[in-house]
Amino acid sequence: MSPLSHGTSQQQPDEPALAVNPFSGQANPVSGMTEDPPKHRLAERPLAPDTAYQVVRDELMLDGNARLNLATFVTTWMEPQAGRLMGESRDKNIIDKDEYPRTAELERRCVAMLADLWNAPDPSQVVGCSTTGSSEACMLAGLAMKRRWTQRNADRYPGSARPNLVLGINAQVCWEKFCNYWEVEARQLPMEGDRFHLDPHEAVELCDENTIGVVGILGSTFDGSYEPIAQLCAALDAYQERTGIDIPVHVDGASGAMIAPFLDPDLQWDFRLPRVASINTSGHKYGLVYPGVGWALWRDKAALPEDLIFRVNYLGGDMPTFALNFSRPGSQVIAQYYTFLRLGREGFRAVQQATRDVAMSLARKVEDMGDFTLLTRGDQLPVFAFTTADHVTSYDVFDISRRMRETGWLVPAYTFPPNRQDLAVMRVVCRNGFTRDLADLFAQDLARLLPELRDQPHPMVRDHQAGTGFHHSENRAER
Ligand SMILES: *Cc1c(COP(=O)(O)O)cnc(C)c1O
């Protein structure tokens, strides 16, 4: 049942009682286990904890194996020590700053470390916070841009002016949500030919006096490519010279803000660029923490309007907070601090380089199979996308996605957005824990499928949505 559907729509009448298996029933005087517990309403009586545990655990066995899930960017492996620390701190609510001042302090240290990592000219000026993930962080960054724009345009808004946000069509769905929920017009630059992300000059052509900001993505969820943030800033500098209109850039670094600082230190994408007002990242992607933690940072107080800040009690004084949620687990933030402490710059560099090496070598192997054209090679985000070569007509990427499931691999196939809806691709997201050995197994399983697929009369999966099992948004993969 989808979480939004009504409780009764798919409800089955409870099935008749079956014989009791003594292995599951004997130790359970409370329930007696004479019948299965109802699934869509509360049972009248409690279950013994071991019984309840077993029932839930058994049901979850049918989920896919998270480590074989090459669709997600989100961390699926942490050290046991991190898991232990998270378990030990699962009772801490992050909003209780006064009650858990050390947790609050660890959050502040993480923000300071990120400000340093992202080359803030004056880290002491940076303001930032943890969030549930990049989606919440992007909402907050978007709100800050909108509020700055409304303050500058108080004479026209509300009234004649309607705010807009400029971004590529490849932006993650959270930006569509932001624009929808906060009534900002999304001006999305379509893909064109071999350009699968934002073009700085075409983006600037979409800007006007009602543009609250431009989002640059590091990197794109569709193919793992970095958008050209420095060129975007330069184009907006020129635009300001021409028109006097000063438009801030937000960098959506959900993945790349934890890759580029370690692997591409010379790439200018961060607070070194004066036009970059704010940056977000997902601590639970290449920040290497289990879901859900994200981060949002603003260059300075001017970038984050004071009237968006709320204050909570902290050590007898008050602490500024900016968040959509109130209560939220503290353990993810604690795990983020653990990861920073544990790895340091050198450790992070080594982990991310290993992941990039796996991505690049697997991309090469896929290319060498002869049936595929690579769109990206894993040398920016450790992610690559590929499509079937022109001479391949008997099968398509949706067939591969479906058939790879037979060996346990979850790898999404999806069509690109306008103006490249003709292009269907597969994307492989490499993460820490997707080892060289696993990548070799993936390549072997893929190679083994090809003779059969080449013998098909035509592509088999008619209903693409049903074929891939990925239903996140209009048949796109998680993005
Ligand atoms: C994953 C992602 C998001 C959303 O992040 P969550 O942490 O899943 O909420 C936003 N933008 C980009 C570029 C992403 O890759």
Beta-sheet strands, E only, within 283-423: 294-298, 310-314, 317-321, 372-374, 383-388, 413-415
Residues 6+ apart with CB under 8 A from 229: 216, 218, 249, 251, 268, 269, 273, 276
Residues 6+ apart with CB under 8 A from 180: none
Instruction: Identify the burial level of 116 via C-beta atoms within 10 angstroms of its C-beta, where 0-12 means exposed, 13-18 middle and 19 or more buried.
Output: middle
Question: Is pLDDT above 70 for 479?
Answer: no
**Which residues have CB under 6 Å of ligand 1?**
73, 133-135, 138, 172, 174, 217, 221, 252, 254-255, 282, 294
Question: Is pLDDT above 60 for 2?
Answer: no
Between the CA of 295 and the centroid of ligand 1 the distance, in Å, is 11
Query: Under a CB-based contact definition with an 8 Å cutoff, are residues 321 and 95 in contact?
Result: yes
Query: Under a CB-based contact definition with an 8 Å cutoff, are residues 72 and 64 in contact?
Result: no
Between the CA of 130 and the centroid of ligand 1 the distance, in Å, is 14
Give the start-to-end residue ranges of the domains of the chain: 22-63, 83-339, 353-476
Between the CA of 253 and the centroid of ligand 1 the distance, in Å, is 8
| The token pair that represents 427 in the structure block | 């994307």
pLDDT tens by residue, 425-453:
999 999 999 999 999 999 999 999 999 99
Between the CA of 376 and the centroid of ligand 1 the distance, in Å, is 19
Nearest ligand 1 atom to the CA of 218 is: 13
The pLDDT confidence band at residue 21, using thresholds 50, 70 and 90, is: low
Between the CA of 281 and the centroid of ligand 1 the distance, in Å, is 8
Pocket test for ligand 1, best of 73, 132, 134, 223 (most atoms within 8 A of CB): 134
pLDDT tens by residue, 154-206:
999 888 899 999 999 999 999 999 999 999 999 999 999 999 999 999 999 99
pLDDT tens by residue, 206-261:
999 999 999 999 999 999 999 999 999 999 999 999 999 999 999 999 999 999 99
The pLDDT confidence band at residue 340, using thresholds 50, 70 and 90, is: very high
Please tell me the distance from the alpha carbon of residue 436 to that of residue 355, in angstroms, as a whole number.
9
Question: Is pLDDT above 80 for 362?
Answer: yes
Could you write out the DSSP letters of every residue in 428-447?
A: EE--TT--HHHHHHHHHHHH
Query: Under a CB-based contact definition with an 8 Å cutoff, are residues 83 and 423 in contact?
Result: no
Between the CA of 138 and the centroid of ligand 1 the distance, in Å, is 9
Give the pLDDT score at 130.
Answer: 98
Pocket test for ligand 1, best of 69, 72, 73 (most atoms within 8 A of CB): 73
Question: Is pLDDT above 60 for 290?
Answer: yes
Give the pLDDT score at 442.
Answer: 97
C-alpha of 196 from chain center: 19
Assigned CATH class of 353-476: alpha beta
CA dihedral sign, ordered 358, 362, 363, 368: positive
CB atoms within 10 A of CB 155: 8
The CATH number of 83-339 is which of 3.40.50.11540, 3.40.640.10, 3.40.50.300, 3.40.50.920? 3.40.640.10
Question: Is pLDDT above 80 for 367?
Answer: yes
Average pLDDT over residues 384-411: 96
pLDDT tens by residue, 390-401:
999 999 999 999
The pLDDT confidence band at residue 65, using thresholds 50, 70 and 90, is: confident
Which pTM does this prediction carry? 0.92
Give the pLDDT score at 303.
Answer: 97
Residue ID of nearest Cα to ligand 1 atom 14: 254
**CA-closest candidate to residue 420, choices 372, 389, 381, 387:** 387
